């Protein structure tokens, strides 16, 4: 598809994410009258996107704007308040220079590829949409219902623990501050007012690691810009999506949906506990689609998108964190996460034209393995939200990962 990637529309705020595209997207929803619920994360460009979208959407829609909110909160409210669509202005974990649009359907799921294709076809055509009788209302108080839902997941044991939350200077900061005001837990919030995802959040854990170590927090919890991812720190250990999903699978005794990038450890643990798993392509939308067909499943990605059905139908970092911490402290678990036998690391490489040539990645792998790295597993994935090639390494020691990244960097500089 030209505009939609694995998680909605997302580009640098430049010629690709332009005035025409956003207005036409709004006009698509004006072909019929709908009730639209809209929200955004904390990027400055949210005002630009929202105003352009409304030019098209207000031709024939009833639009309610809840202001800054997380993507999962929008999903929850769309479903519970009978809106036709939820429109989230966010580029998730990407830097502040990016922005985009996530679209949720009437049931709170991200729209499927079939509807995304319909939208793309409409955007590409010159069909005019006439003004009718649209309306716009700001109503940030709707988020209080979602706050209540989250607070119901918190028990006294977890509420009284010393925990650090990295809010990625994003939408999660608004939600977590409201939780603090309502129930006054002994938690500390970091990265609540700066530039979204800048040297913080679920994709950059080094700052949170230092905070947890220096001030002796029991856990550090990190979200991304729109709050649909979670990563954690325990002591100096990074707890990723595989670790968290393994915990829930074993405690709830539930089969799982994994992606093709899920690691060996989680698969081994599920098999050892006689649990099944299904593999789907990368993207939480693919996980949610599989779970939608079977609500007895749970699922997630190594990157921290975790869906715990049937209580929630989308990846929600805050919901997962609160549920997980409450269970850990209720059960008095000192070492709740399974010991890892393998480790992962990702190398993001600026995409070059030769990388798209036939057999380039095979030649890259051959050159890597000829250098004596047969015990290291590598996978490749061209990002659909950034102009990079992601190289994912998996090995049985952190030292081997470090050596593998160094070797791969040197190979990438060669002509292969």
Identify the CA nearest to 204 among candidates 348, 300, 318, 66.
Answer: 348
User: Could you tell me which of 287, 304, 383, 314 has the C-alpha nearest to residue 102?
Assistant: 314
Q: pLDDT per residue over 199-243, tens digit each?
A: 999 999 999 999 999 999 999 999 999 999 999 999 989 999 999
Q: Which domains, ranges and CATH numbers included, belong to the chain?
A: 4-140 (3.40.120.10), 152-330 (3.40.120.10), 343-412 (3.30.310.50)
Residues with Cβ < 8 Å from 277, sequence gap 6 or more? 255, 256, 257, 258, 266, 267, 270
Taking the C-alpha atoms of residue 245 and residue 301, their distance in angstroms, rounded to an integer, is 8
pLDDT at 416 over 70: no
Residues 321-349 have a mean pLDDT of 93
Q: CB–CB of 377/393 below 8 Å? A: yes
pLDDT tens-place string over residues 313-333:
999 999 999 999 999 999 999
CB atoms within 10 A of CB 173: 26
Burial label, 207 (beta-carbon count in 10 A; 0-12, 13-18, 19+): middle
pLDDT, tens only, 23-56: 999 999 999 999 999 999 999 999 999 999 999 9
Q: How far is CA 353 from CA 1, 137, 357, in A?
A: 20, 47, 7
Tell me the per-residue pLDDT of 382-414, one tens digit each, with 9 for 90 and over: 887 778 899 999 998 888 888 899 999 998 888
**Cα atoms in the Cβ-side hemisphere of radius 13 Å centred on 107:** 10
CA 135-116-92 angle, to 5 degrees, is 80
Q: Which of 21-25, 50-54, 66-70, 340-344 has the lowest mean pLDDT?
A: 340-344
The per-residue pLDDT for 198 is 97
pTM reported for the whole predicted model: 0.92
Most trustworthy range by pLDDT among 131-135, 174-178, 340-344:
174-178
């Amino acid at each position: 598809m030209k505009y939609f990637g694995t998680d909605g529309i997302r580009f640098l705020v430049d010629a690709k994410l332009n005035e025409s595209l956003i207005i036409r997207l709004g006009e698509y929803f004006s072909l019929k009258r709908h009730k639209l619920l809209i929200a955004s994360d904390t990027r400055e460009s949210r005002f630009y996107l929202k105003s352009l979208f409304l030019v098209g959407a207000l031709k024939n829609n009833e639009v309610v704007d809840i202001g800054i909110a997380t993507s999962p909160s929008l999903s929850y409210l769309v479903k519970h308040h009978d809106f036709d669509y939820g429109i989230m202005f966010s580029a998730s974990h990407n830097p502040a220079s990016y922005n985009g649009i996530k679209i949720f359907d009437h049931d709170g799921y991200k729209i499927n590829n079939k509807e995304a294709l319909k939208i793309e076809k409409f955007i590409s055509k010159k069909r005019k949409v006439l003004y009718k009788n649209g309306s716009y209302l700001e109503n940030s108080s709707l988020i209080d219902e979602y706050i209540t839902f989250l607070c119901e997941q918190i028990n006294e044991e977890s509420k009284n623990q010393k925990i650090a939350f990295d809010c990625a200077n994003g939408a999660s900061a608004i939600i977590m501050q409201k939780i603090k005001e309502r129930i006054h837990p002994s938690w500390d919030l970091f990265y609540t007012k700066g530039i979204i995802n800048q040297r913080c959040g679920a994709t950059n854990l080094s700052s949170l690691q230092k905070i947890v170590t220096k001030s002796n927090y029991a856990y550090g919890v990190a979200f991304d810009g729109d709050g649909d991812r979670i990563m954690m720190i325990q002591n100096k250990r990074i707890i990723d999506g595989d670790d968290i999903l393994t915990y829930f699978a074993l405690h709830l005794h539930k089969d799982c949906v994994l992606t093709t990038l899920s690691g060996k450890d989680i698969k081994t643990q599920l098999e050892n506990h006689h649990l099944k798993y299904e593999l789907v392509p990368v993207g939480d939308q693919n996980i949610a689609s599989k779970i939608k067909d079977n609500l007895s499943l749970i699922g997630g990605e190594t990157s921290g998108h975790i869906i715990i059905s049937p209580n929630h139908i989308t990846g929600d970092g805050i919901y997962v964190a609160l549920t997980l911490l409450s269970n850990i402290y209720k059960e008095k678990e000192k070492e709740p996460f399974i010991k890892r036998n393998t480790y992962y690391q990702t190398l993001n490489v600026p995409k070059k034209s030769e990388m798209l040539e036939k057999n380039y990645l095979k030649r890259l792998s051959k050159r890597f393995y000829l250098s004596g790295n047969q015990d290291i597993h590598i996978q490749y994935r061209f990002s659909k939200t950034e102009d990079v090639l992601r190289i994912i390494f998996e090995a049985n020691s952190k030292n081997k990962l470090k050596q593998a990244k160094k070797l791969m960097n040197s190979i990438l500089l060669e002509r292969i």
